[in-house]
Amino acid sequence: MPTARRPRRLRQSEAIRELVREVRLHPSNLIAPLFVQEGDGPPAPVGSMPGVFRLSLRDLAREAAGLAALGIRGVALFPVTPTELKDPQGSEALNPDCLVLRAVAAIRKAAPGLVLFTDIALDPYTSHGHDGVLTPDGSDVDNDPTVSILARMAVLHARAGVDFVAPSDMMDGRVLAIRESLDRQGFHRTGILAYSAKFASAFYGPFREAVGSAQAAGTTGLDKRTYQLNPANPREALADALLDEQEGADALMVKPAGPYLDILFQLRQATRLPIAAYQVSGEYAQIHAAARLGWLDYTRARNESLLAIRRAGADWILTYFAREIAEAGGC
């Protein structure tokens, strides 16, 4: 069969395939999400997320140091707030001695070089499980009062020494309000990683179990469609993300990652800012579940899912696979 081009010539050996490889995932591309809980008890497994645990401050510090030693550059912290500290206003979020700020101090001591990202949203702190305070009739999240609280919360986190505050609430105007509050208080060097294209997704369930926001409301399926994005709307997602850039975000995020690779790719073409993508709890859980049933090769499916996210344009990937990938030296 005469042909001038035979693409298989570039695939015929492992060495050649490595020479022509276009996309690589290095531990330095990864951010590890970590859950922190009160007390000195042993790590508490998250039932729907195999290998993921809620950690005491002591164990959190050890895990952070271990991740840093493996080449992971950043961790994102998520607190498990005790039920008795939750209320409709999320008041614990403004406690200068709250759990997540103590976690920042513990990690700073154990792994001073790690880049620290903290979640700026009220869902870990509210008794109803929503990302902000509710309107007087309780029918929706009240945007502007929520933004005011988030800006104060961000200043507390900056004062504690985080590198990036990460507003995940999807309120209108919150990036600008946070940037202005940080700058007024002298925290010009604190970055903002904005959850810019965060969709009202069915893939968040295991995370809500992990932090207890679903249990607070007595449900695993909170309806957040008045503030999170419609999965059917790519143009709206890009408009939201670019608005965050205009308001002063230093990096933008797409969440979830795998089901929204088209959004990730389009956003990569539209901005020069760093882009993060969050491979969320449901994505992680489904790979584990299918592999346990023998329907997928676990390692290959895990690596392929992450390479797809990187290939679509993510500079950083938040993933619960971070430790495994770092131990393997990347993929």
Q: Which residues are catalytic?
A: 198, 255
Q: Is the separation of the CB atoms in 197 and 260 below 8 Å?
A: yes
DSSP string, 95-144: -TT-HHHHHHHHHHHH-TTSEEEEEE-STTTBTT--SSPBPTTSSSB-HH
Using CA atoms, how far apart are residues 325 and 331, in angstroms rounded to an integer?
7
Which H or E run contains 55?
Answer: strand 53-55
User: Position 122: which residue type?
Assistant: L
Task: Give the residue carrying structure tokens 């579940």.
Answer: 289
Q: Is the separation of the CB atoms in 27 and 69 below 8 Å?
A: no
- Nearest-Å Rg of the Cα atoms of the chain is 20
Assigned token pair, 43 = 């790590």
Sign of the C-alpha dihedral computed for residues 211, 56, 33 and 78 taken in this order: positive
Using CA atoms, how far apart are residues 282 and 301, in angstroms rounded to an integer?
14
Cβ neighbours for 293, distance < 8 A, ≥ 6 positions apart: none
Q: Is the separation of the CB atoms in 259 and 198 below 8 Å?
A: no
Sign of the C-alpha dihedral computed for residues 309, 310, 312 and 317 taken in this order: positive
Three-state DSSP state, 312: helix
Length of the chain: 331
